[in-house]
Amino acid sequence: MSGRERPRGRLPDGRVRALFQIDRPDRALATGGVLLAILTYLAVLDRIVVVADGSGSVPALAALSLAGGTVLARFVRPRWALACFLALVAAGTQQYLASLPATVALGENLGPFVGDTVSLLTGMSILRIINADIWALTLVPAPTMFAWYLAVRRRYVAGATVAGATLGLLVLTGDAGTTTTLLGVVGVAAAAGFGTVETTPTAVDASRRSVLVGLGGAVVGASVLDVVPSEQAGVGGGGGLGGFGGGTTTTEANLLADSESLQIQGSISLSPTVRFEVESEQVGYWRALSFDRYSGRGWIRTGETEPYDSPATPPGPTTSVQQEFTLAGQIGRLPALWKPVDIDVPASVDAYQDGSLAPTRSLREDESYTVTSARSQATPDDLRAAPDRYPDGIQQRYLALPGDFPSRVADRTADIVGDAASAYDAASRVEAWLESNRDYSLDVDRPSGDIADQFLFEMDAGYCTYFATTMIAMLRTQGIPARFTVGYTPGERVGESSWVVRGFDAHAWVEVYFPGYGWQQFDPTPAGPRRLNEQERLRQARLTDEDDVDTNETGPGEWSPTPTPTPTPDPSASSGDGTATPIPQRSGAAPPGLPETAPTTPTPAPSGVAGSVTREQAALAAVALAGGVAALRLAGVDELAYRAVWLRYQPRKSPLADVERAYARAEYALEARTRTRRPDETVRQYAAAVGDEPFQRLARVYERAMYAETASETDADDAVELADVVVGS
């Protein structure tokens, strides 16, 4: 091989050095655009791994992938780089398949894999996959290596396409936020625009147009994303409330509008509209569903639904309770006492993996359904004696916390729990501490950090989602499985076994797992202040004649039972929190319809969410502003504005400079109306060919001044006056 030959596929050293010693600003900007697009989707994947508390490291894997892309660009042709990309995709797929529960045969793995992929492409968050961390980690190497490989070889548009497609997938799943998406689009636009810049004006104009399209799409897209609530915001998705709940400012809409995710809000309001009526011999919390994965900002339900097939009765002693629900409007949930084991509903039913049920279509006004529930009858002594060894599936789903969860929460919880001898005692102490040390309020500002950490250390008050979230996080730091549960409190009692439930009865509470007895209810939210807020909201609604706040059975007067002799205490009677479990009454909770705690001044229902600007909104505004400025700059708007002022306003300096600028102004204006002066054409020839009498006179003054290299004040005055005539004509 001669000295001038090099191995096939190997780039000249200069091509690789160009990555670090880029000789043109446009190439530097194009490379930076590809890198920005890569970093945006890596940031999303890193957050997914952190929330899922995965053990892998996205930054380390990304660094290796970038290094691999650089090496491949030095030695490998595109066709072989594409083969490496496909090999990495295959390896990642195999790794993910190996992590799935079914490992007996490929077909058993392939089904869940295909199902997950289809669901992701149709809007399911990656965080809803139980092994989301593995999925995210397997996505890192292939697109990162290949996109960077293409950027190093100066195939900027192709590299941006790979990175943009990866980010696009995360946008489809709802995991990429507004700011991240905007940054990614800006990166793709920069790579596409600056990566095609050449020396010809036509190519420059084409590149400008491409960048403008990208930046414009980014700004418009970000505006749409900022206005339209996403699935991750907890206000959309299927199986919701249908016509109930109104906007995102009500507790009901926040808790029950989305079956897949719940984002904890700031200030919130109450809806007094009647939702349904219940006939039941026992009263309790009408449970809808639960969430298991905590993100630091809200909750996500992992796993998919399956067709209903008679759920198993919970372990331990239970009693059977039948309830009949009659709807006052459209609803996409099936509230019931825990745990429903049989149901008669005028629609097909799906079952969540947590045992909750949901109709496949929203039920309508006046439709009814009947549920039979198996209610746990475990006593406090039973729960204290429960073993502390939990099934692997329970530990995996209900002990997880984000990888960056603040350690001080565990320290404070350990102090509160103290020497508790059992998980039941520990849960009871945490519940009582929160109930006694935090006030109830609907008017709060959502903190910028982790919700549980901020509520425990920085906030004085909150509503049910704050109390429940904090208790669950605290228990998980102590190795006690707990989950976030939503539904409705008992409502207004209107008969011996009849209740009317309104929108403001929507509530969040805690369920703790006890081996041998299943999930047991705890509620750390102070019940007295919560009920007073609801009663005040109902009073206001009645005063203003709001629609659908009362039925034939309800009204300003409270239902009173017929006096009967005091019965002998029954261990299965309703407990203080309105449930039929025999857990002793806890402070602040009282049976429905009876006084609860000393009167507390109710928190006024806010008119809407507080208008404070969040850090994400500020970042979005900054990025949008920067993108707008860049777009204006690339479009030449700044130059046009400068030229407009330059043409019509001429400050006076020296006579010679004034004559020179006056002629330049006039020639620029005339070129826009006629044609550009040719390089071989003199000033006098150009003026004779295209100019009128004022421009010809100005040309003679300019030509004389340039030859003499001097001009008089009279020449300068004449030149400026003639230029003004030409520009204004």
Q: Give the SS3 label for residue 176.
A: coil
Q: Would you state the pLDDT for residue 623?
A: 56
At residue 253's C-alpha, the angle toward residues 574 and 452, to 5°, is 75
C-alpha dist (Å) from residue 714 to 343, 548, 654, 700, 721: 101, 86, 12, 14, 11
Identity of the highest mean pLDDT range in 130-144, 221-235, 411-425, 615-629? 411-425
**Closest to 572 measured CA to CA, from 283, 278, 277, 280:** 283
∠ at Cα 654 (650, 656), nearest 5°?
Answer: 95
How far apart (Å, rounded) are the C-alpha atoms in residues 239 and 254?
Answer: 14
Whole-number Cα distances in Å, 163 to 143, 192, 666: 7, 12, 49
Overall average pLDDT of the 545-550 stretch: 91
Spatial separation of the C-alpha atoms in residues 422 and 426, rounded to whole Å: 6
Residue 706 predicted with pLDDT over 70: yes
Query: How does residue 109 score in pLDDT terms, banded at 50, 70 and 90?
Result: very low
Q: Counting every residue, how long is the chain?
A: 729
Q: Model pTM?
A: 0.70
The reported pLDDT for the residue numbered 562 is 58
Per the structure block, which two tokens stand in for 205? Answer: 């104009």
Q: Of 30, 45, 464, 513, which Cα lies nearest the Cα of 256?
A: 464
Report the alpha-carbon angle 436-438-442, nearest 5: 130
For the residues 464-469, what does the mean pLDDT come to?
97
Helix 713-728 × helix 655-673 angle, to 10°: 20
- Looking at every residue in the chain, the average pLDDT score rounds to 79
SS3 letters for 59-112? HHHHHHHHHHHHHHHHHCCHHHHHHHHHHHHHHHHHHHHHHCCCCCCHHHHHHH
Amino acid of residue 664: A
Alpha-carbon distance of 457 to 416, in angstroms, equals 13
Res. 23 pLDDT band, cuts 50 70 90: low
Q: Alpha-carbon distance 477 to 413, whole Å?
A: 8
Q: Which residue has the higher pLDDT, 668 or 562?
A: 668
Tell me how far apart the alpha carbons of residues 18 and 132 are, in angstroms, rounded to a whole number. Answer: 38
For residue range 410-426, list pLDDT tens digits in order.
999 999 999 999 999 99
Q: Which of 260, 518, 303 is nearest to 397 (CA)?
A: 303
Paired sense of beta strands 298-300 and 498-502, if any: unpaired
Choose among 450, 440, 442: nearest CA to 473.
450
β-pairing, 461-462 with 439-440?
parallel
| CA atoms within a 13 Å half-sphere pointing along the CA-CB vector of 98 | 8
Catalogue the E-assigned strands of 404-481: 439-440, 461-462
- Residue pLDDT, tens place only, 347-401: 899 888 888 988 988 899 999 999 999 999 999 999 999 998 999 989 989 999 9
Q: What is the mean pLDDT of residues 61-77?
A: 90
Strand pairing of 461-462 and 498-502?
unpaired
9 token code pair: 């596929």
Confidence of residue 86 (pLDDT cuts 50, 70, 90): confident
Q: CA 176, CA 296: separation in Å to the nearest integer?
A: 16
pLDDT for 226 beyond 60: no
Tell which wins on pLDDT, 577 or 160: 160
Please report which helix (H) or strand (E) contains residue 290, including its range. strand 286-291
Q: Give the separation between CA 672 and CA 515, rounded to whole angstroms.
A: 84
Q: Lowest mean pLDDT: which of 215-229, 280-294, 356-370, 629-643? A: 215-229
Q: What is the pLDDT of residue 671?
A: 83
Is pLDDT above 60 for 567? no
- Average pLDDT value for residue range 633-649: 69
Query: Mean pLDDT lowest for which of 283-292, 376-385, 519-528, 666-675?
Result: 666-675
Q: Which residue has the higher pLDDT, 220 or 681?
A: 681
Angle in degrees, CA 426, 406, 249, rounded to 5: 85
* pLDDT for the residue numbered 342: 92
Nearest 10 degrees: Cα torsion 131, 135, 138, 141:
-130
pLDDT greater than 90 at residue 225 = no
d(CA 222, CA 225): 5
